[in-house]
A and B are shown apart, each in its own frame.
Chain A
């Protein structure tokens, strides 16, 4: 009843507009329901996905990624590698929303800016520290010189927003609150910012990429799953990210909405404490201490790998929103090994345990988050049951993320379920953080909760990272990942699948990088 009235009113308004005004195209507005509010408008403050997703409306980066995570031109229309340490970027002709043209000086200044922000707890300097210096060749040409050969410069630069030096010079992060300094080359201009509530923006008609798809965009932050879903169902917003998995089936069968999904670059895996002589969470079946750490035996780690039925988890617990894997990258990325395919073989797992000297299994404490990943509480329960079925009597400790990190720093973690993204689209990124020997100097193995250390493997990766030629580097990475598959320092489970839903008439360009912005939505007319 109410709906029909609304429609009639809308039709009336529509015909009135068409009759009375010169047809200049109706205003197309997009209201977007997002999960996490950005903490600030300053794009250089913190390395958090939701902040970088918001800044993509106002700002561009030199290099950007396509839907699959391939690096494509952003503000740099082209680049070439002059020698192993020198990259030359050619800027496109673009102008900031205040009308001033983009120059190499703005780019140089923006790349230097993260290092000047001292109050950040997750500084973006991890993306700029490889750069030794920058040289301005002319107004539209910039040379970036790295200290050592550094093939990951493009992924790094895809995170650094380019600001107008004129508008933002001298501003602190606090100053951005009022919208000061938010002068970029991106498709939208800021209209108003109400933290935690909504961000309103309008099209930047001078955008270098042509007229943006939407005249006005409003982002609304709706962290609660059911609140976000009902906002879409009731028409309060036109599109949402992270559709609750329980609602997927009904939305898919509803013609008034469209749903898109894409395998994301985030994979879920198990840490196994293989590096310590003894591990606090592994005990004999009677609860007494074991002489040695069972997880140090590669056969035990392989047994755990074979004991987990990833397809069942993907189909039953994740409603298809999981892509089972034993790789640490997606197929489209560098370092993917085709031969590593998930296998479920509990009988073989039992044999391996027996060969390793645990015919009766052992007891294991297993930690998992309950507020961090999609369905993490349910999946970790299933994993614990599957391990118990092959003889590893697993006790699950399901805790908030903050608790799990604290337990780790106190040395209490023997096994844990965590996730990691692959924003560089190549295998060295997860390897360096999760598997490499802990080495503070080099910044490797900083999140190596399994205490795994294999110097030969480290050397293979380090070698791969000096190869500037892409195809050769991919081969070197594959060789290293094959070793990981045999050694199982971590046990990859699946890549998460991201979802979006919109009302009918809106196209969704689903992305692998979990970043939702108005840029991925367009009208289908």
Chain B
């Protein structure tokens, strides 16, 4: 078990290191931040001074090692645009995205798993067919369209929900959260639903396929033959086994939501992290881009690691193979 953990930890660090190195060198292909950020009328002398201050006059490799050294100490440099540490800039937007992502994931699990499971257990029933057809619809509707439709119905026509932006926030552990009030929550409903629409369909389809496959296994037939009550077969024999691939997908989807909810954030003008990444690329805000990629690869690696652990807990075979090595 320990050697498994160590190997995963090492592998994960390597992934983060390689990603960050790739990104570091690719941002140099992007526009020169000085050209974008400097007011065009800035004094040439001041321009030179700023370039030197940002360390942009030094050779790429020197900048790279300087960056690695600082990053190892938890310092990703100051954002060129906001004039404060890049990590802080990202942390400020983290709660907004976490709230959105967690709500969307929760919705997709609560709605998607039961529906998918039912459809997988009884593939022939009209209800199951309706679910599966509906999931194709949820799958194919683009985010921006679904978002705009929700806005025009629930905000502009019915006036039930705010049309966009983020609700009022309260401060907790130094970060701003909007989940704490009903008003704050009301801002989250539509963007979370828009994000969840695709996730629900995805989870429905994965659960359905997985449940249908498991349902055909010999041990399920054996259980039925032994006279185990059908409800118990469904929960203990089918569900427990069918849920494993769903967890893998959820892990990946969670990372995706945190890092790449850009289109939903754009449609609702929601100040999350995806938008920060796009803005930073447009402004060539290198420290933020790099810190951002570093953080998202960390989230992906961690999510995958947790998925493996959950696997080990749920699946005795995996547990054995881990302790066997």
Instruction: Point out residues on A near B: beta carbons under 8 Å.
Output: 2-3, 6, 37, 39-40, 45-47, 118-123, 125-126, 129, 173-174, 177, 194-198, 220-224, 226-228, 230-231, 233-236, 371, 400-403, 405-406, 408-409, 433, 440, 443, 446-447
Residues from chain A with Cβ under 8 Å of B168 in the complex = 194, 198
Binds A, one of B76-84, B108-116, B120-128, B134-142: B76-84
Binds A, one of B39-47, B99-107, B297-305: B39-47
Q: Which of B132-186 contact A (CB under 8 A)?
A: 148, 151-152, 155-156, 158-160, 162-166, 168-169, 176
Contact of A174 among B84, B158, B165, B268 (CB under 8 A): B84
9 of the cross-chain contacts (CB-CB < 8 Å) are A39-B83, A120-B83, A122-B37, A123-B46, A220-B165, A228-B269, A230-B164, A405-B35, A443-B43
Tell me the nearest residue of chain A to B148, going by C-beta. Answer: A226
Complex: how many Å from CA A371 to CA B281?
Answer: 13
Q: Is B235 in the interface zone, CB < 8 Å from A?
A: no
Contact of B282 among A39, A47, A371 (CB under 8 A): A371
Contact of A197 among B42, B84, B165 (CB under 8 A): B165
Complex: how many Å from CA A361 to CA B45?
Answer: 42
Residues from chain B with Cβ under 8 Å of A220 in the complex = 165
Residues from chain A with Cβ under 8 Å of B296 in the complex = none
Q: Is B320 in the interface zone, CB < 8 Å from A?
A: no
Number of A-B contacts (CB under 8 A): 153
Residues from chain B with Cβ under 8 Å of A118 in the complex = 53
The residue among A40, A47, A121, A194 with the most chain B CB atoms within 10 A of its own CB is A121
Q: Is the CB of A227 within 8 A of B38?
A: no
Give min CB distance, A202 to chain B, whole Å: 15
Q: Is the CB of B42 within 8 A of A122?
A: yes
Complex: how many Å from CA A174 to CA B89?
Answer: 11
Q: Is B98 in the interface zone, CB < 8 Å from A?
A: no
Complex: how many Å from CA A433 to CA B155?
Answer: 46
Given the contacts A126-B42, A227-B151, A402 and B164 also touching, CB distance less than 8 Å: no
Q: Is the CB of B155 within 8 A of A226?
A: no
Q: Is the CB of A173 within 8 A of B169?
A: no
Give min CB distance, A293 to chain B, whole Å: 24
Q: Which of B246-274 contact A (CB under 8 A)?
A: 266-269, 271
Given A45-B83, A440-B44, 12 more A-B residue pairs with CB atoms under 8 Å apart are A2-B158, A39-B81, A119-B78, A119-B83, A121-B38, A122-B42, A194-B169, A227-B151, A228-B164, A231-B165, A400-B282, A402-B282
Q: Is the CB of B164 within 8 A of A231?
A: yes
Complex: how many Å from CA A47 to CA B42?
Answer: 10
Residues from chain B with Cβ under 8 Å of A400 in the complex = 282
Q: Which 8 A-B pairs have the closest CB atoms?
A: A402-B31, A196-B271, A122-B39, A227-B269, A227-B164, A405-B35, A440-B44, A230-B163
Complex: how many Å from CA A145 to CA B81?
Answer: 33
Tell me the nearest residue of chain B to A47, going by C-beta. Answer: B39
Q: Is B18 in the interface zone, CB < 8 Å from A?
A: no
Complex: how many Å from CA A14 to CA B1?
Answer: 68
Residues from chain A with Cβ under 8 Å of B176 in the complex = 194, 197
Q: Is B13 in the interface zone, CB < 8 Å from A?
A: no
Complex: how many Å from CA A247 to CA B194?
Answer: 24
Given the contacts A39-B81, A40-B83, A224-B267, A447 and B40 also touching, CB distance less than 8 Å: yes
Give min CB distance, B7 to chain A, whole Å: 40
Complex: how many Å from CA A274 to CA B268?
Answer: 45
Residues from chain B with Cβ under 8 Å of A226 in the complex = 148, 151, 267
